[in-house]
Amino acid sequence: MSPKRTQHVFVVDRTEHLSPHMVRVHLGGPAFRDFVDGADPDRLAATDKYVKLLLAPPSSGLTPPYDLEALRETLPKHQRPARRTYTVRSVDHTAETIAIDFVLHDDHGHDDHGHDDHGRDDHRPEDGPGDRGLAGPWAAAAQPGDLLALSGPGGGYAPSTDPTVTHVLLGDDSALPAIGAALAAMLDDARGVALVEVGGAADEQPLEHPDGVDLRWLHRDATGAEPGTLLVAAARALPRASRPVQVFAHGERTAVKALRRVLQDEWGLEKAEMSLSAYWALGRAEDRFQEEKREPVGVIFAD
CATH number of the domain bearing residue 38: 2.40.30.10
What CATH number should be reported for the domain holding residue 260? Answer: 3.40.50.80
Q: Of 100, 120, 154, which marks where a domain is finished?
A: 154
Residues 236 and 291 in one domain: yes
Residues 117 and 252 in one domain: no
CA distance 56 to 135: 10
Helix H or strand E segment including 109: none
Q: What is the pLDDT of residues 235-289, one digit of tens each?
A: 999 999 989 999 999 999 999 999 999 999 999 999 999 999 999 988 877 777 7
CB contact set of 187 (below 8 Å; sequence gap of 6+): 161, 163, 210
Average pLDDT of span 181-193: 98
Number of domains in the chain: 2
Residues 148 and 18 in one domain: yes
Res 219 pLDDT > 70: yes
Q: Give residue 282's pLDDT.
A: 84
Residues 74 and 104 in one domain: yes
Q: In Å, how far are 51, 156, 176, 285, 303 from 249, measured between CA atoms?
A: 19, 13, 11, 21, 19
| Per-residue pLDDT band at 5 (split at 50, 70, 90) | confident
Res 175 pLDDT > 60: yes
Residues 14 and 150 in one domain: yes
Q: Of 154, 184, 208, which marks where a domain is finished?
A: 154
CA distance 189 to 53: 36
CA distance 207 to 274: 22
Q: What is the pLDDT of residues 104-159, one digit of tens each?
A: 875 433 332 222 333 333 333 333 444 457 899 999 999 999 999 999 999 999 99
Residues 195 and 268 in one domain: yes
Q: Is residue 87 part of a domain?
A: yes
Q: Is residue 2 part of a domain?
A: no
CB contact set of 123 (below 8 Å; sequence gap of 6+): 85, 103, 117, 129, 130, 131, 173, 174, 279, 280, 286
Helix H or strand E segment including 92: strand 82-92
Residues 172 and 270 in one domain: yes
Helix H or strand E segment including 193: strand 191-198
Q: Is residue 1 part of a domain?
A: no
Phi, psi dihedral angles at 103 (to 5 degrees): -85, 140
Residues 124 and 198 in one domain: no
Residues 282 and 171 in one domain: yes
Residues 100 and 209 in one domain: no
Residues 29 and 140 in one domain: yes
Average pLDDT of span 154-183: 97
In sequence order, the β-bridge partners of residue 26 are 14, 99
CA distance 138 to 148: 10
Range of the domain at 116: 8-154
Q: Is residue 161 part of a domain?
A: no
Average pLDDT of span 172-186: 97
Q: Of 125, 154, 183, which marks where a domain is finished?
A: 154
Residues 66 and 136 in one domain: yes
